[in-house]
Amino acid sequence: IRFTDLHRWVTELNGFSDSPERSGEKILEAIQMAWIEETE
């Protein structure tokens, strides 16, 4: 997954109320790792 796609998906979620500029690479990596753990 490209971080640009993940960033867009996260910021388009219903209920996302934070500033899109605050979701940097570190946060996106954490989301990606949690997602991978959920699938295992």
pLDDT at 20: 86
pLDDT at 23: 78
How many domains does the chain divide into?
1
User: How far is it, in rounded angstroms, from Cα 26 to Cα 39?
Assistant: 20
- At 14-24, the pLDDT tens digits run 999 898 888 78
Structure pTM? Answer: 0.70
Nearest alpha carbon to residue 35 among 11, 1, 5: 1
Task: Identify the domain containing residue 30 by its residue range.
Answer: 3-13+22-39
Give the chain as a 3 state SS string.
Answer: CCHHHHHHHHHCCCCCCCCHHHCCHHHHHHHHHHHHHHHC
pLDDT at 38: 93
Q: What is the mean pLDDT of residues 16-36?
A: 89
Average pLDDT across the chain, whole number: 90
